Structures are given as structure tokens and as C-alpha cells.
Structure 1
Amino acid sequence: MRGKFSLAAADADFVRSAPLVITHRIESEATCESLWQTLTSDGALTSWARGITGADWTSARPFGIGTTRTVRAGAFAALNERFFRWDEGHRMTFYVESASLPGFKRFAEDLVLEPTSTGSRLTWTFAVQPQPWFAPILSLSRPILERVTRSWADGAVHHTLQGTPR
């Protein structure tokens, strides 16, 4: 499903300065390597992110800067993503190029893995600039967005700890 609503490109500055930024930090016993495998597996997102019904890598492996992916939520919502930062095993950052539904001017996500003395730390940041008409709706739904996105980050860690990613 190709998005018919184009979004503006985002960069590292946008991830820090977007009008809406949600960041989750999760410490776990999972290694950075095993968590990275979960995040980049063919079953990424659909295996552990509630509400995500499809996630297809549209670039060939090995992944890197310029990698693309289409993520679907339900039958009508799809996001076409482009990765602009790819530090293998450590960090990946993408922005949404287009969406099947309106509402966003810019949207990006940044995932960082850091080793800790007991495993790893996942820092997952969601950065959004809504269209002006959508800003009040997004603001009111922020508590729900925080719970949903936290469940995705928790799900990635839980899935990793349960065994080998698909």
C-alpha cells in the first residue's frame, strides 16, 4: 500500500526538537546483539507490537542508510519509512516518507542500543510534527500514544528474552 500523503523528510535534529517527542528507556538482560536481531528480523514489529499488522522490508539485506520498510496498522493505515541512520548493532533512525492517512507533517523514530553491565538499554524515541488541524487530537491522545509505544518497546525486549527472533 503506497502512501498518498507525503511527509517532509526528518533528520537527527528533528528527533530532538519535534513538537511531540516520546522517549522510552528500557533496561534488560538481553544483549544488544540479540535485541538488534529482534528489531531487524523479518518478523520485526508484527511479532511483538500490538496493532501492527504488517511490516515489510522493501530493501534487500544487508540493511543500511537508505533502507526502506512499509509498516501497516489494520487494513487502512500504512507508513512508508526510509532509514537515514544505520549504525549496525547500535542505532537506527528513520522518517516516514508517506502515509495512507493524513495527519502528520513529519514523523521519525530513533532506536538506540547501549550495553550495560547486566545486558542492554533500549532507548526508543518517537518524534512527530502533526498537521495543524491534527495537533489538538494528537495532544489529547498523548497518554494513549505513550502507553502504546511503551508496549512496543517492552514487547521487543520481551520477545528477545523469550528466544531467538524469527
Structure 2
Amino acid sequence: MAHRLRPEGHDFVGTAPVRLVFAAEVSASPEQVFRALAEDVSGWAQWFPGVRSIQPLDGGAGRDVRLLGGGRFRETVLVAKEPDLYAYRVDVTNAPGVRALVEEWRLAPAGTGTRVQWTFAADGTRAFRAVLRPARPGLGRSFRGAVTRLDRRLAA
């Protein structure tokens, strides 16, 4: 059953009760990575594990996300500042226990490539928070695998 989440702003990334932050370096430029995140929205399914499809909504102001396993998210893009910041909020989901969720992608030059930092900022029921903390290693592996696949895709 889908439910509406608390409509947090971008500042929630710094104040959320649960913040999971992951970083990796890729050889692609910040501009290339930003375009993959913000402009090639449907391409996420090719490089981010677990994503079945993402469709842009409202001229790019929102996204409809479907995950393998049946998870669904309707999102609002909060910040799209090329080439260094892309953030979005989940407005509606069928995931149980979630009360608020904002994700942020920060991109910074690193040598000849890019340092990609992903922050998963969330609030939810006690059970939801209890599940997220031990899920951190798996989310980290998923993130690192995703940016590695994205880097290969951008190099091709």
C-alpha cells in the first residue's frame, strides 16, 4: 500500500535521524556524471542495481521509480545544479515504515575524474531505522557497484 511521506527539503540531508554516506571515485568528468544522473534518468536501470525503471515526470521535476522486488517511489527533484549537485525527495512509496527520505549526489573533481558522494537521509519507524543501520554494508556495495557500472557506461 502506497503512503505519502513527510515533504522534507534539501536541508534534511544534514539533519536526518539516519544518514548513510558513501563515496567513490570514477574516471568520468563531473559534467558526464551529472548528465547521467539528472538528464538520462531512464538510463539508471542500466547501471544501478535493483532499479527496474525510472521515468521522468513533470518535465524532469519528478521521477517515477520502480525497483526489482516491487518497490515503488514517486520523487520530486529538489536540486539539479550542474555539475556538482543532484538531490531528490521521495514523496510516495510502498516501502513500509518510511516517514521521510531524501537522497543527495555530490560531485567534485578528483584528479582527472570525479569523486561521487551519495547520501541516503531517512526517517522512519523504529523498525525501519533498525533495519537501515545493518543494511549499510549492502547499500555501500550497491553504490560502489553502481558507480563502477556508470563509469564503464560513460567511457563506452
TM-score by length of 1: 0.82
CA distances 1:97-127 after superposition (whole Å, capped 9, x unpaired): 0102322111111112222331222111111
Q: Which segments of 5 or more consecutive residues in structure 1 lack a partner in the other structure?
A: none
Q: Which residue matches 2:64?
A: 70
Q: Does 1:35 align with 2:29?
A: no
Do the aligned residues in 1 keep the contact of 2:42 with 2:56 (CA within 8 Å)? no
Which residue number in structure 2 is paired with residue 21 of structure 1? 19
Check conservation: 1:70, 1:81, Cα contact below 8 A: yes
For 1:92, the aligned partner's letter is Y
What SS is found at the alignment partner of 1:101?
Answer: coil
> Over aligned residue pairs, what C-alpha RMSD do you find?
2.0
SS at match of 1:12: coil
Q: Give % identity.
A: 24
Match of 1:110 among 85, 93, 104: 104
Task: Give the conservation status (yes or no) of the 8 Å contact 1:80–1:97.
Answer: yes
Give the residue type in structure 2 aligned to 1:47. Q
Contact 1:24 1:153 in 2 (8 A): no
For the Cα contact (< 8 Å) 1:24–1:124, is it kept in 2?
Answer: yes
Aligned positions of 1:1-166 closer than 5 A:
4-39=2-37, 40-60=39-59, 63=60, 67-74=61-68, 76-161=70-155, 163=156
Counterparts of 2:17 and 2:149, CA distance in 1:
26
Q: Which runs of 5+ in 2 are unaligned?
A: none
1:153 Cα deviation (Å)?
3.1
Which of 135-144 and 70-79 deviates more? 135-144
How far residue 87 of structure 1 moved from its aligned partner, in angstroms, is 0.8
Length-normalised TM-score, structure 2: 0.86
* Deviation >4 Å, runs of 4+: none
Query: How many residues of Structure 1 are paired with residues of Structure 2 in the alignment?
Result: 155
Distance 1:137 1:120 in 2: 31
